Structure 1
């Protein structure tokens, strides 16, 4: 009787397993059939359009548009990379390319050098910020896009390229030898005071961890005892580099991040694998709304282990992992395959792309659906909206006049004018725009157009529009006109009222001509409110300890 019962149980289990496998097989085949059917429809549609459409069509362009439209329904990080864009994609992910080492762009309709990278062919060959690009090899590029010019400048290392530029009233030609360009992830590091080091980490391309490690070793050899790590405006990059940077400050064997996706091979746990370079140095990490992805992993992991105080503003909130998959004909797709979770267990993804509203837009995760987690010391942290700092600093806003002067490239043009007349300036940490230089700038502006609308003037315009809509304008017209008269801006007055912030913009523009990207960073540190707060915290061990300790209820 017992044997009969066991046989029935085994038979029942076999039936269940076979049924499950059959069901799974049917579902899988249904999905494969659906995919095959729709691919066949798409291919037939393209064939018929090519045959019957009244005008000639570019089949490749049309298919690419269709692919991109399809991917737009998912998230902004899943993208198709055709063969012709593979070099640009490699630059974004590795920071390496063959070329002359210069950032180019279009200002006021002119293609020009915006920043030559120090030590590379463009800078070594004498090209400067503001040089208008006229010709590359035998190609006239005056009317070409910056993307086209960039492609012409790039090429295999050790090959030559001729570049003709216009500088002021002069036309210059220079032959440059292309090199393998590897852009450093650390454009600047130095000392904020005798005991405090500072490292600016701008990217997470190949060697980011090595760049930070080398900077920290050098700073420690100079006697620093505290550190500020700046990942503001860092868009992220390679996950492995983020893990290794955390490992500089966290002991071996600690989890830094885990990825969880639909496919088994997307699920991974990343732990520190080495002894830390310094697990005790007091540390502040600077973050802002443009710190994303790998930058958020570094900041979030150090916060979860109570290893650093975060200063600044809430980060971007990108908790999605992308994997590059090769396709036919050397094309690729960068596809979101997983979400990442930092040591406390939280995912900081701020937008739910799986749900759309009636207009087809994705929305931020509401506060009511955000969950609480705790750091190593028991501090409460939350998921679903980026990494929130331990000490918040409000975002800096600029006066409309400053915005207008920068947006209309007048500060940029004045930087070029100054550079042509002055061979050298003081070091970035000491260079100032004195009152005489500012008076020269104001005088130079006299025949330039830079009108703007102030915040108050815009508010009055809104009031006037709403009053007319509500049919109340006739009652308050006199008061509105009086307000307009009182707040009507004066450029001359605004140039004095906002002199300090305009001076700051001019200073950084001029410093960039002589000391490039690292000079701009160094010059800005003296007036940086985030840096000032970081120094205050690091100089107060009690405040640092309090910020890293759980609050008692």
Structure 2
């Protein structure tokens, strides 16, 4: 009892200290009320520990209480346990230590989607479709993704031996891989769509995004790029400064890119373009959809408000809250919303979440856009761009040109769920090695003809998957 009381008091005092230190409250006016609520919380915690029918873990109770408290605020104020912080930090830092593969669990085994470029796995020749059946001699059958990650990652310079079952090769074989620092790329692909049109797909905004983006632009410029398609679909955001630096490539100096406003003065910031522009006049299209959120919405909103490019796709998710991270002594962290994002024209990016988190999430992926439907009664507020065009507020970025995402048929869904496309692609790649290693050669020479269609159908039949012939064609 004494231990739990000490832990509760310590936690309460820590939270109080952080609040007072960051928000600079008037202690004389508020401390009495805060201590009253803390005392009430302590009595509940002690009562549960003393009288509940089963023994309980005080840490689990406190974690639950913290989560419950933050849920009363907004969907993006969160508590992050210590065991999750490393994974999140690695994502934003842009690197981790391991062997360097992207994989999925397929038919109960970890299966390589692709080796990451420039990593030990690529250098040793791991391929898409390779099934990892053992790690250090122990079967991986039935292991979770988290369990596999834990076994494959480790300090740089350490070794791990895996057993591979490769499509087209009867006998499994072993590979010993020396772990290294593995980059987590923000830009998943970039290339020339034709002689003049560049394409860049940005998956997240992390510490290395600007560096990767600059490299992609330079390479596309060297190939004759005169216009650019920037794909931010399914980009859920990341680091604010990286989004600002991306917009900075396309705007002249002195243009406001985004601003934040909160209850405390420290949360109010204005971000402007600098002299770093590299492509101030390159024609630009930005692709967004319901999965584009936060930092990607900052980019799309600024480009739209300054009439710098065309926004195409679906209304973005509408996540426009600024979180301040407070690290706790046990390695866990609080992320507390301190401000809201606004586009240059004054549009609030954040959608309403007053009807609960479930409706908030569902509405974010809703196909119905009130501004695309003349009969909609749910109209959004209207703002003006720098050239006087109408743009819409009310949460998210409404595109200039609405293009609905591809909606797969039921047959396609079944094939995706059963990894049929992946399996066939892996088999095809292993038997058509002349197409590997040269994207331009593949783009120019590869054509899906009737023989490939028939071969694919036969492959589906061998997998005992039923398809709708009408949907297939």
Contact 1:133-1:165 at 8 Å conserved across structures: yes
Distance 1:132 1:42 in 2: 51
Q: How far is the alpha carbon of 1:53 from its aligned partner?
A: 4.8
Q: Report the CA distance shift for 1:38/1:252 in structure 2 as closer, same or farther (over 3 A).
A: farther
- Given candidates 18, 42, 56, the residue that maps to 1:40 is 42
| Partner residue, 2:420 | 410
Distance 2:420 2:455 in 1: 13
Distance 1:195 1:421 in 2: 33
Contact 1:190-1:197 at 8 Å conserved across structures: yes
Q: Which runs of structure 2 are paired with 1:109-508 in the superposition (5 Å)?
A: 109-137=108-136, 139-168=138-167, 169-350=170-351, 352-353=352-353, 355-356=354-355, 362=360, 370-425=380-435, 427-430=441-444, 431-451=446-466, 491=468, 493-494=469-470, 498-499=472-473
List runs of 5+ in structure 1 lacking aligned partners: 1-22, 453-490, 500-553
* Between structures 1 and 2, the one with greater helix share: 1
Distance 1:435 1:405 in 2: 19
Q: How far is the alpha carbon of 1:89 from its aligned partner?
A: 0.8
Contact 1:233-1:289 at 8 Å conserved across structures: yes
Distance 2:423 2:281 in 1: 47
Q: How far is the alpha carbon of 1:245 from its aligned partner?
A: 0.6
Distance 1:263 1:369 in 2: 31
Q: Report the CA distance shift for 1:221/1:343 in structure 2 as closer, same or farther (over 3 A).
A: same
| Partner residue, 2:33 | 31
Instruction: Let me know the Cα RMSD of the aligned residues.
Output: 2.6
| Partner residue, 2:105 | 106
- TM-score of the superposed pair, with normalisation by structure 2: 0.83
Q: How far is the alpha carbon of 1:243 from its aligned partner?
A: 0.5
- TM-score of the superposed pair, with normalisation by structure 1: 0.72
User: Computing the radius of gyration over CA atoms, which structure comes out larger, 1 or 2?
Assistant: 1
Q: Report the CA distance shift for 1:203/1:25 in structure 2 as closer, same or farther (over 3 A).
A: closer
Q: How far is the alpha carbon of 1:104 from its aligned partner?
A: 2.2
Q: Report the CA distance shift for 1:117/1:300 in structure 2 as closer, same or farther (over 3 A).
A: same
Distance 2:313 2:360 in 1: 26
Distance 1:77 1:373 in 2: 26
| Partner residue, 1:91 | 90
Contact 1:133-1:142 at 8 Å conserved across structures: no
Distance 1:230 1:146 in 2: 28
Q: How far is the alpha carbon of 1:395 from its aligned partner?
A: 2.3
- Aligned to 2:447, what secondary structure does the other structure show? coil
List runs of 5+ in structure 2 lacking aligned partners: 1-24, 365-369, 371-376
Q: Report the CA distance shift for 1:342/1:159 in structure 2 as closer, same or farther (over 3 A).
A: same
Q: How far is the alpha carbon of 1:174 from its aligned partner?
A: 1.2
What is the number of residues matched between the two proteins?
430
Q: Report the CA distance shift for 1:144/1:445 in structure 2 as closer, same or farther (over 3 A).
A: closer
Distance 1:348 1:360 in 2: 19
